Amino acid sequence: MENREISQAVIGRLPRYFRYLGELKDEGVERISSQELSDIMQVTASQIRQDFNNFGGFGQQGYGYKVEYLYEEIGKILGLDRTHNLIIIGAGNLGQALANYMNFERRGFLFKGIFDKNPALWGRKIRNMEIKPMEEMEAFVREKGIDIAVLTIPKGSAVEVAEKLVANGIRGIWNFAHVDLPVPDKIQVENVHLSDSLMKLAYNINQYEHREH
């Protein structure tokens, strides 16, 4: 669809646009101007128009944007019109929580398996899916065409597991392990470092105290 490289700053805003447009659509709103959307989302109308125009004109001068159309188009840009096969590696609390979060399936992320190295968990069912031994992971990724692996394992083993995933054709890793993964450029990694996020919150709380106000 598109050859220019879009900045990650723009990409990072797309899911939020998508969310707001989905809500507007559900409320039955048919059209919206960048200014109206600006008021709701607290970003400048200028940024909204710039962002959308990275992907070609979705609007109509003098009219604005058709909510449903824009929603669909942003969904396509995000790749939500296709399906992705996803596995979870690490069936601890967080892995189980993510497995049970049904909403991902709605967006085309198909939960295909969950693995753990702990034998005590093997065979136990989560979302009607048996937890499998880690040893079976590599063949599974290769043979079932798994696109995305969710890493919810301790950081000690994360790098090694990531290497195996890459060797077996994974395309993206959603990394909850508290470590940076050294993978080839062609593999996409999205980090969710929860403790980093909490530290940032702590900083902002304490900082506020030290400011004059």
CA distance 150 to 152: 6
52-111: contacts with a second copy (CB under 8 A): 77-80, 82, 84, 92-94, 96-98, 100-101, 103-104, 107-109
194 binds a second copy (CB under 8 A): yes
Cα 202 versus chain centre, distance: 24
Choose which of 44, 50, 60, 188 interacts with a second copy (CB under 8 A): 188
125 binds a second copy (CB under 8 A): no
Is there a contact between 87 and 114 (Cβ–Cβ < 8 Å)? yes
Partner whose footprint covers residue 194, from DNA, a second copy, none (CB < 5 to 8 Å by kind): a second copy
Binding letters toward a second copy, positions 139-158, x by CB under 8 A? --------xx----------
Is there a contact between 161 and 89 (Cβ–Cβ < 8 Å)? yes
Q: Which is nearer to DNA, 53 or 100 (CB)?
A: 53
Q: Which is nearer to DNA, 45 or 94 (CB)?
A: 45
C-alpha torsion sign, points 66, 69, 75, 79: negative
List C-alpha distances in Å: 195 to 81, 93, 138, 156, 182: 32, 16, 29, 16, 20
**Which tokens sit at 53?**
């125009």
Partner whose footprint covers residue 64, from DNA, a second copy, none (CB < 5 to 8 Å by kind): DNA
Contacting residues for 145 by C-beta, under 8 A, at least 6 apart: 85, 169
Summarize as ranges the residues that interact with a second copy (CB under 8 A). Answer: 1-3, 6, 11-12, 14-16, 18-19, 77-80, 82, 84, 92-94, 96-98, 100-101, 103-104, 107-109, 147-148, 171-172, 174, 178, 180, 186, 188-190, 192-208, 210-211, 213
